[in-house]
Structure 1
Amino acid sequence: MTNDIQKQYDRLEDVPSIMLRMKEVYAVPDRHIIYVATKAFFETKMAKRLSVQSHGVKMLSLVQKVEGLKIGLDNDTTIDVILQSLPPSYDLFIINYNMNGLEKYINELINMLVQYEAMAHKSTPTVLVGEASTSKAKGKRAGR
């Protein structure tokens, strides 16, 4: 043990306190916890009828869990996983994002997705449905 580390632990009274402090500082997360967190992050897909903003918040929460485990995912990999979690209706966004070489952080990406979703809903074509004709109306025309 180096002198600096030894000095830190000299202040602690008993062995359990020293052990607890060492676990806090040097502990490696349980392998199962890492597995569960990364599996949830990599396998999450956007649910039908869920807003992209809600999905983004969910993905951001999963990213924070993974980062808290100090696994070391870089920003590009994180962005790729989020883009892969989107449904096919976002393919045009993903193509444009990748072709333009945009390098954004997660919050910026989520904001862009929210704007894209709003724009996509505005440009959705509407279908007009008229009343069906009745047999009486057809009969009147035929009699003329």
Structure 2
Amino acid sequence: MIEHLKEMFGKQARIERFDIVRALHAMKMEEHGNLSTHVLKMKSYTDQLEILGSPYPQDLATNISLNSLPKSYNAFIMNYNMNRSEKPISELHVMLKITEKNIPSKTPQGFKKSKELKADEMELHVGNEAWVAVQEIGHFDLYFTICFKFEKI
């Protein structure tokens, strides 16, 4: 009876570990996403693995966390690796929060324009000199940056 229970619950723990590892490796923070929520979620996954008897080594957990960050953190990641830092996720979180303050804001530069459009009121250039009429539009915002194109006369 005890062997049967061990076998049954051992399979459940193995499946739970698999699901946690899959979720941990699949995590990717969106550009300008909430850093604290992201890091704490990753920390909770590593804590759950430890409870299940399969702790992740600190350096592996840190590498997975760094790999899940968006491109805006690339300079931090390079600096962290060049200095051969080995910090637990909690200390890494503090370092990332400080770095986050130096990352440009979420608002794109330029100006924003909103307009309600009807079907066939707008065409999109799709390449190869082809233009396609827009059939359906919900609400959208376009962000433009000012650029100048100079042509030879």
Range into which the TM-score falls when normalised by the shorter chain:
0.5 to 0.7
TM-score (norm 1): 0.63
| Amino acid across the alignment from 1:58 | K
Is 1:97 the counterpart of 2:77 in the alignment?
no
Deviations 1:89-134 (A, max 9, x none): 1110000000001111110001100110012247x9x9576xxxxx
- Bigger relative contact order, structure 1 or 2, given CA contacts below 8 A and separation 6+? 1
Please show how residues 1-144 of structure 1 align to structure 2 within 5 Å.
19=2, 28=10, 30=12, 31-121=14-104, 127=109
Shift of 1:64: 1.1
Deviations 1:51-98 (A, max 9, x none): 211211111111111211111321000000000010111110000000
- CA gap of 1:63–1:72, structure 2 versus 1, over 3 A, is closer
TM-score (norm 2): 0.60
Q: How many residues align?
A: 106
Structure (1 or 2) with the greater helix fraction: 1
Q: Which runs of 5+ in 2 are unaligned?
A: 112-153
**RMSD of aligned alpha carbons:** 2.7
Partner of 1:137: none
Structure (1 or 2) with the greater strand fraction: 2
